[in-house]
């Protein structure tokens, strides 16, 4: 296709590099330096989408970040991304894009029927229309809305791209590289400040690229290029294009997304696609400029109605005409600048100016060029469906309420300028109290809350001379404050054409008998009539009006619609705009891809994976792993085609019959040293610790101050002032923080040091009736006999030249030991145990068998110590010292904790001795009772008892003490199970605890 | 993200710290008789203050020290930080 709308001799694109691309399946070409939007317009494509609600045809409205219409689905290098603004997406070779929100196609759209049904889709249509009948929602309304509305489609494929995060500090962060950004960055950099200058577009310079000004005898563009190349050479300056500062957070932290590869056909090797910068800046300068706002008139959403500044940018940057027969509709001098550019490039325009008789240098220039200007004229309505074909225009009375005779004139686009709105998003996000500036009919930043200043157009200053002057000064002052340097920058001579005041006119009245849609929010299809309905229905707060009508809520966040919406509310409510106020600006300023926010923390990188030193052995021996907190632990060791159930049963049985070995490296370990170590233990544990002899271990339970069990474990006295504490795998970090809290803040007088040694020791639990025989073989020179190493005993021993710690403690309820060696020797220890254990028929066992063993023994663990139970509930009340105080003791006398029918751990066996009981099931008296069936308790853990060869569960049951022998029902609505059960003691195996002491 | 001055390590980002609640809460002495009201106030009752507030933070991914931070709960402004053993004046 030929580029009918491309001019020969204007623009900043590289005409030596042609790029081909596809849009909605058709082939086109553009040039390097184009955006998708400019390339499409050059090819005469103006219809790019359908609107959100009425599915009206959509074209281009802006040329950048403010674009509400031209949202496309992008295809790049085998991946797809939704909601890309065609005005921001740079063209690359092979780019493919499709319209969104059009079904089945952009030219024939089923949803456009909404346009004719619009009477049924007024303000609040989400809340009203689809609400009744309720049963229609899932089957009819929702699928329809999902298909016919919405923007792009998110990919369900894994994103192959890489995204990075970067943390940076600087003296000055400057957001925006227009005249104010460049001037302040230059002045600050010359005074030695560390500066980051961020520009969201690919080209630096902002409005300097398109305005006819002269700075120091250079064109605006040349001056900008000179400053940028000087800044790039300075070591204290970071200059970033394609980088949007989108969020201003507390303590002057800002977040910027840098699009590194989005403009390339594919990401270069070792490069990320995007990088998110977390920047902590001493000072922030907001030089984000301003956005032209529309004037509201009939059918003002027709493709071809475009902001006048965007028309100028397409012309001057891309050499593209948005139309060959443009009509300019303006209330200020900016429209004239666009008309002059058209004229210079041989395109005739008509200017409709709402003002009666304005006088300025710019207007004079337009007059001298012979441009046709109609004063006190307005566009009443655009005509044409998929593209503007003509405009209904009329003279407007001085009071702006009466329209004259309507005339129709031919045109192929309407370039509209309703004056400028400062981009105050970042300032507002920082907590700045914005104020309304009557001169420009817009909000500007007011009192800063953080170290931030707003410059130039973003601050409502619209002349270049004033902007540059204040920006040079501010950059200089701020840098001086930080670096103490005081290099004055000579201020360049600025030549710009003078303009005159704008007209406060923003909305064209409806002619008699006409009911044109006059849109305020172009992306969400919010028209003047919607706001009127919302107000009639009693919505007053602008925040409520926004949510009810969806004004300003789409991906463009109302960049072009907010102020006109406020104007309308203030007019109807008869309030001045500042009293209506504006809705809160929240980050992000523009959409940020989820990938960039997540960065590298995906999949395995979202948290560290910890592996024990024996991990490779487990892998070699067919271990199936399970996540245990941050650790990977063997769940079972698969033999042949065993499943989890069969393997864990075999492993558990072997522990009961012979001997097993389990990797317990993951248990939390805390080294405790100091003369007051015993006193600390005595305060944090519920039982007595002052008389524990050296070389002995003791089981302990610690509580929170509210009496709830926090953790349990054994602590061993290694020497006089040295203890070794173990915690559960899950609570290890919390227990350490807990001890540090009491030592540092509550009892600083205790002379104790605590440090985590979890990673320093590798641990193996050796359990089963033959474990002592195995130990004897492993430690031939140590006395590990019943007398030499009694239950809860501890010794240090030599494991074939390696120093080992042996604890006689048991989690399985069998005769058992735990052997610890320094982590580096973990694998050596493990292999020695397996080797020596062969004659005792040793088998490794995983967490599933470990659970089985502890459940049938009635040992409480994480599923019972779940942050809701007290010691009594877990039958641990025997460990509560009556003689001393400890953390949480005072809470245990609370009424609920001492109730006669307080819950308690019990055992549960199905009457048929066959049916497995799902964990989490409820216990009830009567399975047929009407709902809600009173719940007596819940199943905390279930296993297949290898000792009894039937299912067995632990439960926390109301009045558990008196329920032994009762018949109840287990109900699991999730699994659709009702199981009759008998309540038994939680100690299902060896209730007297003889084996551990054997 | 807040920027907190650890009295031991200097300015650090919030993500190195964990929050620990009201710094003015004093634990009743061990072994001392306490009324239900006293105990409830210690365990449960906290004011949700708007404005300046002394609170505890732990420099978890740094020096692991618990510190006291004077922060405005509405604006997040931080006025002062103290070591655990320094008294709030
Ligand atoms: Zn620190």
Q: DSSP assignment of A578-646, as one string?
A: HHH--PPP-S-SS---HHHHHTT-SGGGGSPPB--TTHHHHHHTTEEEEEETTEEEEEEE--TT--HHH
Instruction: State pLDDT tens for residues A812-860.
Output: 999 999 999 999 999 999 999 999 999 999 999 999 999 999 999 999 9
Domain that holds residue B11: 1-24+51-89
Closest residue by Cα to residue A785 from A768, A771, A803, A798: A771
Structure tokens at A933: 């069936």
Give chain A positions within 8 Å (CB) of B65: 744
Contact (CB, 8 A) for A281 and A315: no
- CA A64 vs CA A47, A86, A448, A581: distances in Å: 17, 8, 28, 26
Contact (CB, 8 A) for A310 and A61: yes
Closest residue by Cα to residue A813 from A612, A614, A543, A997: A997
**At A165, which helix (H) or strand (E)?**
strand A163-175
Identify the CATH number of the domain defined by range A668-757+871-888. 3.30.70.1400
> So what's the pLDDT on residue A125?
55
Contact (CB, 8 A) for A925 and A934: yes
A977-984 and B3-6 strand pairing: unpaired
- For ligand 1, the distance from its centroid to the CA atom of residue A759, given in whole angstroms, is 22
Kindly state the greatest CA–CA separation across chain B: 42
Q: What is the mean pLDDT of residues A528-552?
A: 86
ipTM: 0.98
Q: Does domain A524-557+560-590 have CATH number 1.10.10?
A: yes
Q: Mutual orientation of helices A542-549 and A528-536 as an angle, nearest 10°?
A: 120
Q: Which fold has domain A899-998?
A: Elongation Factor Tu (Ef-tu); domain 3 (2.40.30)
| Total tally of structural domains belonging to chain B | 1
Q: Rounded mean pLDDT of chain A? A: 93
Give chain B positions within 8 Å (CB) of A890: 28, 34, 39
Q: What is the mean pLDDT of residues A21-46?
A: 97
- For ligand 1, the distance from its centroid to the CA atom of residue B85, given in whole angstroms, is 14
Supply the pTM of this predicted model.
0.88
Q: Where are the domains of chain A?
A: 14-121, 163-290+422-492, 294-418+500-516, 524-557+560-590, 607-666+759-867, 668-757+871-888, 899-998
Structure tokens at A244: 């949007």
Instruction: State pLDDT tens for residues A385-424.
Output: 999 999 999 999 999 999 999 999 999 999 999 999 999 9
Kindly state the greatest CA–CA separation across chain A: 114
Name the band, by pLDDT with cuts 50, 70 and 90, for residue A555: confident
> So what's the pLDDT on residue A605?
87
Cα end-to-end distance, chain B, whole Å: 27
Contact (CB, 8 A) for A774 and A842: yes
Question: Is the pLDDT score of A144 beyond 60?
Answer: no
Question: Is the pLDDT score of A121 beyond 60?
Answer: no
* CA–CA gap between residue A755 and residue A734 (Å, rounded): 13
Name the band, by pLDDT with cuts 50, 70 and 90, for residue A49: confident
**At A672, which helix (H) or strand (E)?**
strand A668-673
Instruction: State pLDDT tens for residues A418-430.
Output: 999 999 999 999 9
Question: Is the pLDDT score of A557 beyond 80?
Answer: no
> So what's the pLDDT on residue A546?
85
Taking a contact as any Cβ pair under 8 Å apart, which residues of chain B between 19 and 78 contact chain A? 20, 27-28, 30-31, 34, 39, 42-44, 56, 58, 60, 64-66, 75-76, 78
Instruction: State pLDDT tens for residues A960-992.
Output: 999 999 999 999 988 999 999 999 999 999 999
Instruction: State pLDDT tens for residues A880-912.
Output: 999 999 999 999 999 999 999 999 999 999 999
* CA–CA gap between residue B18 and residue B40 (Å, rounded): 24
- Least confident stretch, A289-293, A346-350, A626-630, A652-656: A626-630
Give chain A positions within 8 Å (CB) of B42: 705
Contact flag B39-A884 (C-beta cutoff 8 Å): no
Q: Which residues fall within 8 angstroms of residue A218, CB to CB, at 6 or more apart?
A: A226
Dihedral sign from CA coordinates of A759, A762, A768, A769: negative
Contact (CB, 8 A) for A535 and A569: yes
Radius of gyration of chain B (CA): 14
Q: Which residue of B has its CA nearest to A282?
A: B3
Instruction: State pLDDT tens for residues A270-319.
Output: 999 999 999 999 999 999 999 999 999 999 999 999 999 999 999 999 99
Higher per-residue pLDDT: A545 or A343? A343
Strand partners, A796: A805
Q: Does domain A14-121 have CATH number 3.30.565.10?
A: no
Closest residue by Cα to residue A809 from A865, A771, A783, A843: A771
> So what's the pLDDT on residue A103?
56
Phi, psi dihedrals of residue A193, rounded to the nearest 5°: -75, 150
> So what's the pLDDT on residue A127?
55
A95-99 and A14-23 strand pairing: parallel
DSSP A746: I
CATH class name, domain A294-418+500-516: alpha beta
Contact flag B28-A890 (C-beta cutoff 8 Å): yes
Phi, psi dihedrals of residue A633, rounded to the nearest 5°: -125, 150
Q: Which fold has domain A163-290+422-492?
A: FAD/NAD(P)-binding domain (3.50.50)
* CA–CA gap between residue A750 and residue A744 (Å, rounded): 9
- The answer as to whether B69 is a domain residue is yes
* CA–CA gap between residue A803 and residue A828 (Å, rounded): 12
Please report, rounded to a whole number, the percentage of residues in chain A having pLDDT higher than 70: 95
Give chain B positions within 8 Å (CB) of A249: 1
User: Does residue B10 belong to the interface with chain A, where contact is any CB pair within 8 Å?
Assistant: no
* CA–CA gap between residue A262 and residue A707 (Å, rounded): 56
* CA–CA gap between residue A209 and residue A205 (Å, rounded): 6
Task: Name the CATH superfamily, with its identifier, for domain A607-666+759-867.
Answer: Probable tRNA modification gtpase trme; domain 1 (3.30.1360.120)
* CA–CA gap between residue A82 and residue A71 (Å, rounded): 8
Cα end-to-end distance, chain A, whole Å: 91
DSSP B8: T
Q: What is the mean pLDDT of residues B50-70?
A: 96
Fold equal for A14-121 and A607-666+759-867: no
Closest residue by Cα to residue A442 from A586, A584, A567, A573: A567
- Least confident stretch, A81-85, A862-866, A871-875: A81-85
Q: Which residue of A has its CA nearest to B45?
A: A706
Closest residue by Cα to residue A453 from A426, A435, A484: A426
Question: Is the pLDDT score of A62 beyond 60?
Answer: yes
- For ligand 1, the distance from its centroid to the CA atom of residue A284, given in whole angstroms, is 27
Q: How many CB atoms lie within 10 A of CB A938?
A: 15
Closest residue by Cα to residue A499 from A219, A306, A290, A211: A211
A843-844 and A904-910 strand pairing: unpaired
Higher per-residue pLDDT: A521 or A765? A765
Instruction: State pLDDT tens for residues A92-108.
Output: 999 999 988 665 566 66
- For ligand 1, the distance from its centroid to the CA atom of residue A168, given in whole angstroms, is 20
* CA–CA gap between residue A313 and residue A295 (Å, rounded): 19
Q: Which residues fall within 8 angstroms of residue A749, CB to CB, at 6 or more apart?
A: none
The CATH number assigned to the domain holding B60 equals 3.30.2270.10
Cα angle value A51/A52/A53 (rounded, 5°): 100
- The answer as to whether B10 is a domain residue is yes
* CA–CA gap between residue A633 and residue A614 (Å, rounded): 10
A452-454 and A274-286 strand pairing: parallel
- For ligand 1, the distance from its centroid to the CA atom of residue A610, given in whole angstroms, is 25
Cα angle value A395/A398/A403 (rounded, 5°): 35
Q: Which residue of A has its CA nearest to B25?
A: A746
Give chain A positions within 8 Å (CB) of B18: 737
Buried b (16+ CB within 10 A) or exposed e, A517-528: bbbbbbbbbbbb
Instruction: State pLDDT tens for residues A179-233.
Output: 999 999 999 999 999 999 999 999 999 999 999 999 999 999 999 999 999 999 9
Structure tokens at B76: 């997040």
Name the band, by pLDDT with cuts 50, 70 and 90, for residue A540: confident
Contact flag A705-B85 (C-beta cutoff 8 Å): no
């Amino acid at each position: 296709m030929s580029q009918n709308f491309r001019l020969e001799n204007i623009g900043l694109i590289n005409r030596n590099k042609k790029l081909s691309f596809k849009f909605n399946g058709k082939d086109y070409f553009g040039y390097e330096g184009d955006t998708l939007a400019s390339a499409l317009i050059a090819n005469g494509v103006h219809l790019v989408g359908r609107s959100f609600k009425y599915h009206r045809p959509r074209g281009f409205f802006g040329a950048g970040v403010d674009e509400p219409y031209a949202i496309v689905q992008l295809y790049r290098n085998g991946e797809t991304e939704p909601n890309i603004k065609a005005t921001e997406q740079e063209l690359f070779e092979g780019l493919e894009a499709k319209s969104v929100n059009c079904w089945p196609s952009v030219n024939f759209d089923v949803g456009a029927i909404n346009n004719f049904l619009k009477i049924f889709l007024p303000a609040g249509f989400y809340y009203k229309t689809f609400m009744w009948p309720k049963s229609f929602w899932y089957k009819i309304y929702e699928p329809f809305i999902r298909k016919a509305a919405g923007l792009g489609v998110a990919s369900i494929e894994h994103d192959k791209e890489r995204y990075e995060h970067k943390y940076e500090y600087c003296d000055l962060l400057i957001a925006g590289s227009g005249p104010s950004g460049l001037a302040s960055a230059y002045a600050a950099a010359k005074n030695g400040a560390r500066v980051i200058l961020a520009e969201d577009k690919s080209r630096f310079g902002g409005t300097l690229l398109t305005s006819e000004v002269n700075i120091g005898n250079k064109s605006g563009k040349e001056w900008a290029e000179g400053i940028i190349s000087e800044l790039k050479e300075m070591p204290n300056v970071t200059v970033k294009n394609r980088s949007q500062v989108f969020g201003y957070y507390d303590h002057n932290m800002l977040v910027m997304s840098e699009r590194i590869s989005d403009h390339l056909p594919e990401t270069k090797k070792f490069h990320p696609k995007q990088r998110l910068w977390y920047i902590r800046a001493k000072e922030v300068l907001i030089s984000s400029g301003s956005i032209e706002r529309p004037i509201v008139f009939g059918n003002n959403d027709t493709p071809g109605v475009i902001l006048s500044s965007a028309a100028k940018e397409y012309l001057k940057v891309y050499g593209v005409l948005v139309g060959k027969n443009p009509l300019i509709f303006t209330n200020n001098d900016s429209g004239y600048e666009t008309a002059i550019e058209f004229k210079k490039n041989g395109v005739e325009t008509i200017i409709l100016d709402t003002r009666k008789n304005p006088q300025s240098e710019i207007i004079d220039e337009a007059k001298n060029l012979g441009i046709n200007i109609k004063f006190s004229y307005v566009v009443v309505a655009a005509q044409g469906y998929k593209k503007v074909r003509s405009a209904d225009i009329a003279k407007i009375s001085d009071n702006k309420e009466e329209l004259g005779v309507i005339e129709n004139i031919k045109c192929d686009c309407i370039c509209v300028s309703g004056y400028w709105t400062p981009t105050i998003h970042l300032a507002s996000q920082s907590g700045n109290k914005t104020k309304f500036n009557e001169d420009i009919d817009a909000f500007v930043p007011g009192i800063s809350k953080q170290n931030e200043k707003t410059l130039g157009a973003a601050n409502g200053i619209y002349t270049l001379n004033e902007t540059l002057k204040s920006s040079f000064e501010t950059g200089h002052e701020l840098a001086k404050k930080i670096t103490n340097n005081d290099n004055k920058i000579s201020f360049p001579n600025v030549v710009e054409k003078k303009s005159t005041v704008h007209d406060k006119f923003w909305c064209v009245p409806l002619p008699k008998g006409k009911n044109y849609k006059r849109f305020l929010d172009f992306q969400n299809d919010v028209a003047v009539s919607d706001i009127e309905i919302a107000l009639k229905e009693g919505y007053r707060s602008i925040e409520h009006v926004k949510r009810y009508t969806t004004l300003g809520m789409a991906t463009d966040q109302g960049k072009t619609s907010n102020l006109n919406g406020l104007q309308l509310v203030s007019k109807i409510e008869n309030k001045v705009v500042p009293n209506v106020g504006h809705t809160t600006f929240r980050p992000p300023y523009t959409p940020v891809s989820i990938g960039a926010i997540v960065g590298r923390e995906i999949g395995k990188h979202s948290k560290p994976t910890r592996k024990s030193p024996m991990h490779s052995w487990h892998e070699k021996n067919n271990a199936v792993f399970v996540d245990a907190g941050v650790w990977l632990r063997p769940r079972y060791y698969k033999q042949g085609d065993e499943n989890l159930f069969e393997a864990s049963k075999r492993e558990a049985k072997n522990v009961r019959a012979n001997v097993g070995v389990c990797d317990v490296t993951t248990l939390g370990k805390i080294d405790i040293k100091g003369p007051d170590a015993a006193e600390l233990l005595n305060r944090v544990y519920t039982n007595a610790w002052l008389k524990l002899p050296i070389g002995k271990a003791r089981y302990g339970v610690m509580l929170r101050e509210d009496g709830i069990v926090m953790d349990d474990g054994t602590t061993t006295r290694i020497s006089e002032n040295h203890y070794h504490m173990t915690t559960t795998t899950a609570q290890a970090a919390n227990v350490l923080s807990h001890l540090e809290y009491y030592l540092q803040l509550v009892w600083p007088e205790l002379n104790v040091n605590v440090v985590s040694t979890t990673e320093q020791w590798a641990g193996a639990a050796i359990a089963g009736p033959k474990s002592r025989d195995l130990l004897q073989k492993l430690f031939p020179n140590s006395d590990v006999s019943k007398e030499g190493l009694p239950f809860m005993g501890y010794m240090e021993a030599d494991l074939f030249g390696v120093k080992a710690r042996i604890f006689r403690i048991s989690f399985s309820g069998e005769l058992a030991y735990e052997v610890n060696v320094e982590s580096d020797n973990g694998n050596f220890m493990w292999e020695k145990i397996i080797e020596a254990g062969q004659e005792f028929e040793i088998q490794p066992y995983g967490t599933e068998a470990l659970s089985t063993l502890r459940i049938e023994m009635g040992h409480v663990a994480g599923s019972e110590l779940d942050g809701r139970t007290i010691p009594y509930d877990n039958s641990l009340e025997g460990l509560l010292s009556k003689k001393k105080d400890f953390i949480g003791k005072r809470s245990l006398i609370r009424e609920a904790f001492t109730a006669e029918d307080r819950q308690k751990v019990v055992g549960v066996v199905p009457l048929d001795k066959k049916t497995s009981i799902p964990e989490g099931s409820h216990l009830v008296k009567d399975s047929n009772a009407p709902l809600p069936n009173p719940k007596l308790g819940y199943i905390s853990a279930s296993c297949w008892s290898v000792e009894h060869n039937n299912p067995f569960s632990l439960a926390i049951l109301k009045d558990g003490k008196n329920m032994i022998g009762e018949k109840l029902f287990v109900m699991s609505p999730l699994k659709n199970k009702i199981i009759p059960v008998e309540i038994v003691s939680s100690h299902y195996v060896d209730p007297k605890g003889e084996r551990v002491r054997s | 993200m807040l920027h907190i001055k650890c009295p031991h390590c200097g300015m650090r980002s919030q993500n190195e710290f964990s929050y620990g609640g009201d710094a003015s809460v004093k634990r009743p002495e061990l072994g001392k008789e306490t009324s239900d009201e006293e105990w409830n106030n210690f365990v449960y009752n906290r004011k949700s203050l708007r404005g300046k507030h002394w609170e505890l933070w732990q420099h978890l991914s740094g020096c692991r020290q618990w510190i006291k931070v004077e922060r405005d709960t509405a604006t997040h402004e931080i006025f002062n930080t103290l070591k655990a053993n320094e008294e709030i004046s």
